[in-house]
Amino acid sequence: MSKNSNTTLETDKKSGAKKQSGKKPAKINASLTRDDKIKLYRDMVRIRRFEERSLHSYQQGRIGGFLHLYIGQESIAVATASLMEDNDHLITAYRDHGNALSVGMTMNECMAELYGRFTGCSKGKGGSMHYFAPDKNFWGGHGIVGGQTPLGTGIAFALKYKKLKGCCLCLLGDGAVNQGAYLESLNLAALWNLPVIYVIENNRYSMGTSQKRSSAGAPLARRAESYDMDWEVIDGSSVYEIREKLSPLMERARNDCTPSVVEIQTYRYRGHSVADANAEKYRSKKEIEDYKKNHDPIMLFEKTLIKEGVLTDATIEEIDREAKKEATDAAKFADESPYPPQEEIFTDVYWEIDHRTGKNEGRIFFND
Amino acid sequence: MPQILYRKALNDAFAEELERDENVVLIGEEIAEYNGAYKVTEGLHARFGDRRVIDTPISEAAFCGLGIGASMLGIRPVIELMFWSFSYVAFDQLFNNAATVRYMSGGLINVPIVVRGPANGGTNVGATHSHTPENFAAYTPGLKVVCPSNAYDAKGLMKSAIRDNDPVFVMENTLLYGQKWEVPDEEYLIPIGKADIKREGADISLIAHGRCVITCLEAAKVLEEDYEIDAEVLDLRSIRPLDQEAILNSVRKTNRAVLVDENKPFCGTGAQIAAIIQEHAFDDLDAPVKRVSSLDAPQIYSKPLEDEMIPNVQRIVRTVREIL
Ligand SMILES: Cc1ncc(C[n+]2csc(CCOP(=O)(O)OP(=O)(O)O)c2C)c(N)n1
Ligand SMILES: [Mg+2]
């Protein structure tokens, strides 16, 4: 199962990808219809409005716990989901609302989960960091930094074992690259040729620690070289660019199970979580403003689509109005939904118990 | 009935389940080409090939997590830990991910994995290789823990564990791998959560799991021959689920209990069982519930001292004599 070394292949500065001589990059964006483009744009706006509405609910005291907002990074969730085919899967960390909405989970079920309601996607048992939708090939939502990386590797293993033509997008943060489980996963994926693409969402900070203060060696994706894996750095402010660069890597994973690592440069505007009192202390206001003004993925895509004649001021306004209304309605839905009934504490712990298979005997819970 | 080794009984269980279900795979260090550090998987790679019996690098966190991730899509990995002591480097995957994914997804996902390997002391290998984490696992809602004491149980319980749709941690014992028991040729399953009376007795209940059951049976012989004490030996077989009824029935019959396990005493499995007995059978007790556990220090290397550290016949007999 070992892989040939690619040391003889040329690599450029920002990329460890094999140069595909003579072959043009897939025209993945050229094939987008007008409706496809509007959907990409609309989904980014929906994420932003959802996040703003959830922040509002948090500030009103309707939501507690942690709330890690995705604002600024919307292009990554939307671009990755837009490339997923039937047998492609996605798994991420706790900053998961954007991915959830992009794969087609509803604002209602996501908002209700934040509110801890029974109508939430996990019946109020998972919370903000633990959204799941296996029917949409979305496997969470994981709260332990880097803990999802072996799981994503296992999803890829299952695809290959079942001889399905698909891949797993395994997302992680720039801080998560320093977890051993991630590096162990890279080795397994390369050793066994598993169809997984590790997508590092590099928003430049892990909580209050900048990349410079936490990670030796840059780009972060370059660590893939130790495992003879291809890697790439992508400008995350452009939905088109993410799609264009990621698509061939996914295609290759599907076709011949080749894993790779991509690092997508992005930025989060808000604190690490809502409770991050230092959001403007470990970085300058100027830096945040610069991103908002010059690199905002929604703003940039909006400009592109206006230029392409896809969007007009009127459609932009309409999309925004609808997204805001959808988020407001979701908050209302969540607010009016019931909490899970008391009995729910003991369901969904064990499959065999929930399904009363009788295969297990004896006592399983020990409450009194 | 043929007599077969504990390791062979496990090996037969794997072979039968690999044969039965295409989704069963064995994953672990040295399990395939090397035939297993303890030869439990001997011959399976030759018979089932690379796809079903898979050697891993020394990356417990990654291959345990990989098994969990694969199981979410319907693969049924049986993951070998060379020693359960090594589970500690995969703790997050096993105790955070495997145990909670079903709950946090509101029941949308389940994790049908088996994680298995030896968990015992008494082998003269020092503290890092002698851990018995059945109490850690049993402490964790979402996990099941099975500790077979003999070849017959090992096979029947392992087959049930592989077919179970929840994570089941099976803790074996290197000192039992080379011992023989009667195991029938016909297929059988043992339900998880059903204790087994290994010796009927009237005077005192010795309640144990894993190899301690064997030690209890030896102690029962000494108690009978030297002290005319008729001890009952109850083999729990699994810690979670726990056969509480069997425990209480035995105690109600004998009115005395000594709990024997290889955990260290503080928050060991015996502590939980003692709590259950005092709560539900207080009026049936003629003496305090006593425990025989491993002595409360890191596992010592020096052999004669380690033999004293883990439960042994003399300590069990002595403890029984304190209350009878
Ligand atoms: C094992 C572990 N250690 C620490 C934490 C606390 N923690 C949560 S998020 C985080 C920062 C992670 O940053 P990064 O990987 O860059 O992701 P981002 O938050 O930027 O999306 C930390 C330290 C945790 N959840 N898990
Ligand atoms: Mg980060």
The per-residue pLDDT for range B183-214, each reduced to its tens digit, is 999 999 999 999 999 999 999 999 999 999 99
Same domain, B277 and B157: no
Q: A252 lies in a domain?
A: yes
Average pLDDT over residues B305-318: 98
The per-residue pLDDT for range B212-253, each reduced to its tens digit, is 999 999 999 999 999 999 999 999 999 999 999 999 999 999
A272 alpha carbon – ligand 2 mean position (Å): 8
Q: What are the respective helix, strand and coil percentages of chain B, to the nearest 5? A: 45, 20, 40
**Residue that terminates a domain, selected from B130, B153, B182:** B182
pLDDT at residue A15 in the model: 67
Q: What angle, rounded to 10 degrees, do the helices at A180-191 and A148-161 form?
A: 20
Testing the interface with B: which of A350, A353, A355 to mutate, by most B Cβ within 10 A? A350
What's the domain range around B164? Answer: 3-182
Q: B190 lies in a domain?
A: no
pLDDT at residue B161 in the model: 98
| Percent of chain B whose predicted confidence (pLDDT) is above 90 | 100
Q: Quick count: other Cβ atoms within 10 Å of Cβ A313? A: 8
Using the beta-carbon criterion (under 8 Å), do B71 and A154 form an inter-chain contact? yes
Same domain, B222 and B312: yes
Three-state secondary-structure class, residue A209: strand
- Quick one: pLDDT band at residue A17, thresholds 50, 70, 90? low
Please count the CA atoms within 13 angstroms of the CA of A193 that sit on its side-chain side.
Answer: 14
Nearest Cα residue to B170 out of B100, B34, B78: B78
A176 alpha carbon – ligand 2 mean position (Å): 8
Q: B23 lies in a domain?
A: yes
Q: B187 lies in a domain?
A: no
Here the CATH number for the domain that contains residue A70 is 3.40.50.970
Same domain, B202 and B177: no
Average pLDDT over residues A293-298: 98
Same domain, B236 and B289: yes
The per-residue pLDDT for range B32-80, each reduced to its tens digit, is 999 999 999 999 999 999 999 999 999 999 999 999 999 999 999 999 9
Q: A209 lies in a domain?
A: yes
Average pLDDT over residues B290-299: 98
* Those residues with Cβ within 8 angstroms of residue A222's Cβ, 6 or more apart along the chain or in another chain: A16, A231
B104 interfacial to chain A (CB closer than 8 Å)? yes
pLDDT at residue A23 in the model: 43
The per-residue pLDDT for range A320-334, each reduced to its tens digit, is 999 999 999 999 999
Rounded Cα distance, B174 and B172, in Å? 7
Same domain, B150 and B210: no
Contact indicator for A16, A221 with CB cutoff of 8 Å: yes
pLDDT over 90 at A20, yes or no? no
CB contact residues (below 8 A), chain B span 162-221, against chain A: 163-166, 191-195
A130, A144, A145: which to mutate for ligand 1, most atoms within 8 A of CB? A145
Q: A196 lies in a domain?
A: yes
Q: How far apart are the first and last CA of chain A?
A: 52
**Residue that terminates a domain, selected from B182, B208, B235:** B182
CB contact residues (below 8 A), chain B span 112-151, against chain A: 112, 141-142, 144
Contact indicator for A156, A197 with CB cutoff of 8 Å: no
Q: Which DSSP string corresponds to A107-165?
A: HHHHHHHHTT-TTSTTTTSS-TT---BGGGTB-----STTTHHHHHHHHHHHHHHTT-S
Here the CATH number for the domain that contains residue B88 is 3.40.50.970
Rounded Cα distance, B29 and B21, in Å? 22
**Residue that terminates a domain, selected from B182, B212, B234:** B182
Nearest Cα residue to B188 out of B159, B226, B217, B219: B159
Q: A18 lies in a domain?
A: no
Please count the CA atoms within 13 angstroms of the CA of B231 that sit on its side-chain side.
Answer: 32
The per-residue pLDDT for range A173-231, each reduced to its tens digit, is 999 999 999 999 999 999 999 999 999 999 999 999 999 999 999 999 999 999 999 99
Rounded Cα distance, A148 and A157, in Å? 14
Q: A273 lies in a domain?
A: yes
Same domain, B217 and B117: no
What's the domain range around A50? Answer: 41-336
Nearest Cα residue to A83 out of A251, A310, A233, A265: A251
Same domain, B285 and B225: yes
As for how many domains chain A has, the answer is: 1
Q: Characterise A174 by phi-psi region: left (phi > 0), alpha (psi -120 to 50), beta (else).
A: alpha
As for how many domains chain B has, the answer is: 2
Per the annotation, the verdict on B172 as an active-site residue is no
Nearest Cα residue to A145 out of A75, A195, A200, A187: A200
pLDDT at residue A22 in the model: 42
Q: A306 lies in a domain?
A: yes
Same domain, B91 and B206: no
Q: B188 lies in a domain?
A: no
Q: A126 lies in a domain?
A: yes
**What dihedral do alpha carbons A109, A114, A118, A119 form, nearest 10°?**
-10
The per-residue pLDDT for range A160-184, each reduced to its tens digit, is 999 999 999 999 999 999 999 999 9
pLDDT at residue A192 in the model: 98
Q: B157 lies in a domain?
A: yes
Same domain, B73 and B210: no
Residues of A in contact with B240 (CB under 8 A): 364
Helices (runs of H) and strands (runs of E) counted in chain A: 12, 7
Is pTM beyond 0.80? Reply is yes
